[in-house]
Amino acid sequence: MSNYDVFASVYDRLTLNVNYSERAEYIMNILNKFGHEAGITLDLACGTGNMTLELYKRGVDVYGVDASPSMLMEAKDKAYDMEADILFLCQKMQEIDLYGTVNTVVSTLDSINHLPTLNDIKKTFERVSLFMEEEGLFIFDFNTVYKHKNVLGNNTFIYDLEDVFCAWQNRYKSLNNRVTIELDFFLKKNGLYERQSERFSEITFENEVVSDLLKECGFKEVYIYDDMSFYPPKKDSQRVVFVAKK
């Protein structure tokens, strides 16, 4: 799986459409809905730290874990600029080894989909369950089968920004509903463009498969919502949110 070394340097510019503040508020609303105090919170696969910092701003005792050193460097720089005392650990999701238990785990923007196999997803759920307090909440979003088949599919997307041009090419395979994503970046330097590439995959499964896996890994209750809402998922939902209670 990719280390996202190239992706890390341009990730924030390619995700300017993501309203992290709004997503953080949604997570806080989930906590309120379930009457759950965030307590010690883990931002799993925190990437460049945008969600970690938004939760920190809201008074959450949060730290981040990610497998990419390059992503974590971006996160640490942002925390330093904010004078935010946040711990960031470099660990794979399916191998997290925490210093103690946590009350809440969040994972956003289809991070779980980036795991290579269903067994890796199960290992991640097992590790989260192992380090989670009883009555704790695991909140994560997940790209749907509909999105992988009909939106990402075999399509190509182009991002043309001031200092970076990105060609995003997808290849879909029905096995595990896998989408292989190939990114070609053209980075502008001194009037010229330097080409760099990144390649990774995302997989997805029907909601029932994920729900059953969570229960198998020790979560007693599982709730599924359409993204950024408390409504049930629709047939054409592109992203859903799982709330699993230990």
State residue 165's pLDDT score.
87
State residue 1's pLDDT score.
44
Its pTM stands at: 0.92
State residue 233's pLDDT score.
98
- Does 99 have pLDDT greater than 70? yes
Grade residue 192 by pLDDT with cuts at 50, 70 and 90. Answer: confident
Grade residue 117 by pLDDT with cuts at 50, 70 and 90. Answer: very high
State residue 7's pLDDT score.
62
Mean pLDDT of 46-56: 96
- Does 22 have pLDDT greater than 70? yes
- Does 198 have pLDDT greater than 90? no
Closest CA relative to residue 47, chosen from 118, 114, 126, 94: 114
Mean pLDDT of 195-212: 94
Average pLDDT across the chain, whole number: 93
State residue 148's pLDDT score.
98
Grade residue 134 by pLDDT with cuts at 50, 70 and 90. Answer: very high
Q: Is 160 exposed, middle or buried (0-12, 13-18, 19+ CB in 10 A)?
A: exposed
Mean pLDDT of 201-217: 98
State residue 12's pLDDT score.
61
Mean pLDDT of 82-108: 97
Grade residue 14 by pLDDT with cuts at 50, 70 and 90. Answer: low
- Does 129 have pLDDT greater than 80? yes
Total Cβ atoms within 10 A of residue 167: 16
Lowest-pLDDT choice from 51-60, 106-115, 150-159, 184-193? 184-193
